[in-house]
């Protein structure tokens, strides 16, 4: 069953068709990779799904419900979480506070709760702080909890951003290049976190350039080129797909 369905989605930027009449679907419980050369429209597609950009035309349906023109915070409440190609932590907040934000809800984050300093709010804060600390511990970053996020290494930032999205407990996770720019030692940790989501019944849709990573982590691959779907299949199928090689390298595989 398709958890995410995209129909005839388009987005133009001053005549550039970043996403061009695109239709695709992401199966529930799958780890689906989205690949394609630079400028193929991958990030734009994520921005369209999550409401950060408005499509020129077309529809996005999530779990049977149309979400096309909802604002970003409403799309989150539907159960879609995302990370960004350029990591976006809150630099001058502690790592723990970065993780507290997705764990907290509108009840305890209201002005009224702040003014009254309600006991319920303080209890919730306490349990959330424990949850946040556990999340950090699970990736060996417990000692970083009280440091500002800006003190983290780039790879640690990517990892914390992913954790922060997971703390939303989304049904669909969108990761935009989760391992790019990260030291090789960090890559297995991040891939492990991504793959664990399957066991939690979550669906993952992620953008990635490295074919090896895709082979390792994904069970479906969708190839985007000039804003259109070029191919779709298992990693093995895609790896042997002639058109994909042409899109990536500008020539056919095994061509003379």
Q: Which stretch binds other proteins (CB under 8 A): 28-36, 94-102, 184-192, 214-222?
A: 94-102
Contact 162, 192 (CB under 8 A): no
Binding status of residue 225 toward ligand ADP by CB under 6 A:
no
Binding status of residue 83 toward Mg ion by CB under 5 A:
no
Binding status of residue 39 toward ligand ADP by CB under 6 A:
yes
Region of 79 on the Ramachandran plot (φ > 0 left; ψ -120 to 50 alpha; else beta): left
Cite the DSSP H helix spans in 80-139: 95-103, 111-116, 119-138
Q: Which stretch binds Mg ion (CB under 5 A): 41-49, 72-80, 112-120, 145-153?
A: 41-49
Compare residues 40 and 166 and give the one whose CB is closer to ligand ADP.
Answer: 40
Q: Would the CA dihedral through 225, 227, 228, 233 be positive or negative? A: positive
A 10 A CB-CB count for 6 gives 23
State which of residues 9, 20, 32, 42 lies at the interface with ligand ADP (CB under 6 A).
42
Contact 223, 195 (CB under 8 A): no
Q: Which residues pair with 204 in a beta bridge?
A: 31, 173
Q: In whole angstroms, give the CA distance from residue 155 to residue 179.
A: 8
**How many residues lie near Mg ion (CB under 5 A)?**
3
Binding status of residue 44 toward Mg ion by CB under 5 A:
no
Minimal CA–CA distance to 68: which of 77, 81, 79, 56?
56
Compare residues 43 and 128 and give the one whose CB is closer to ligand ADP.
Answer: 43
Binding status of residue 85 toward Mg ion by CB under 5 A:
yes
Contact track, other proteins, 95-114, x by CB under 8 A: --x--xxx-x-x-xxxx-xx
Binding status of residue 127 toward other proteins by CB under 8 A:
no
Give the list of residues 6+ apart from residue 226 with CB closer than 8 angstroms, or none: 17, 20, 40, 41
Contact track, other proteins, 33-72, x by CB under 8 A: -----------------x-x------------------xx
Compare residues 132 and 208 and give the one whose CB is closer to ligand ADP.
Answer: 208
State which of residues 3, 41, 83, 223 lies at the interface with ligand ADP (CB under 6 A).
41
Half-sphere exposure (CA, 13 Å, Cβ side) for 27? 15
Burial 65-93 (b: 16+ CB within 10 A, else e): eebbebeeeebbeebbbbbbeebebeeee
Binding status of residue 164 toward other proteins by CB under 8 A:
yes
State which of residues 43, 47, 50, 98 lies at the interface with Mg ion (CB under 5 A).
43
Q: Are strands 2-13 and 16-27 parallel, antiparallel or unpaired?
A: antiparallel
Residues that bind other proteins (CB under 8 A): 50, 52, 71-73, 76-77, 81-82, 84, 88-93, 97, 100-102, 104, 106, 108-111, 113-115, 117, 121, 125, 164-165, 168
Residues that bind Mg ion (CB under 5 A): 42-43, 85
């Amino acid at each position: 069953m398709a958890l995410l369905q995209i129909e005839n989605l388009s987005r133009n930027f001053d005549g550039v068709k970043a996403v061009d009449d695109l239709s695709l679907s992401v199966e529930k419980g799958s780890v689906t990779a989205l690949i394609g050369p630079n400028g193929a429209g991958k990030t734009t597609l994520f921005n369209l799904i999550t409401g950060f950009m408005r499509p020129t035309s077309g529809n996005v349906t999530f779990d049977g419900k149309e979400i096309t023109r909802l604002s970003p915070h409403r799309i989150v409440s539907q159960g879609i979480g995302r990370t960004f190609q350029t990591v976006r932590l809150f630099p001058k907040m502690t790592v723990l506070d970065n993780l507290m934000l997705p764990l907290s809800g509108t009840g305890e984050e209201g002005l009224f709760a702040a003014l009254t300093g309600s006991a319920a709010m303080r209890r919730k804060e306490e349990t959330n702080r424990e949850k946040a600390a556990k999340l950090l511990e699970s990736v060996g970053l417990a000692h970083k909890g009280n440091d500002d996020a800006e003190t983290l290494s780039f790879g640690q930032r990517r990892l914390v951003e992913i954790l922060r999205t997971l703390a939303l407990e989304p049904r669909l996770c969108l990761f935009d290049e989760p391992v790019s720019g990260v030291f090789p030692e960090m890559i297995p940790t991040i891939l492990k976190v991504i793959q664990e989501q399957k066991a939690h019944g979550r669906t993952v849709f992620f953008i990635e350039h490295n074919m090896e990573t895709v082979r390792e982590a994904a069970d479906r691959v969708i190839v985007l080129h000039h804003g259109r779907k070029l191919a779709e299949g298992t990693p093995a199928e895609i790896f042997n797909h002639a058109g994909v090689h042409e899109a990536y390298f500008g020539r056919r595989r095994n061509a003379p």
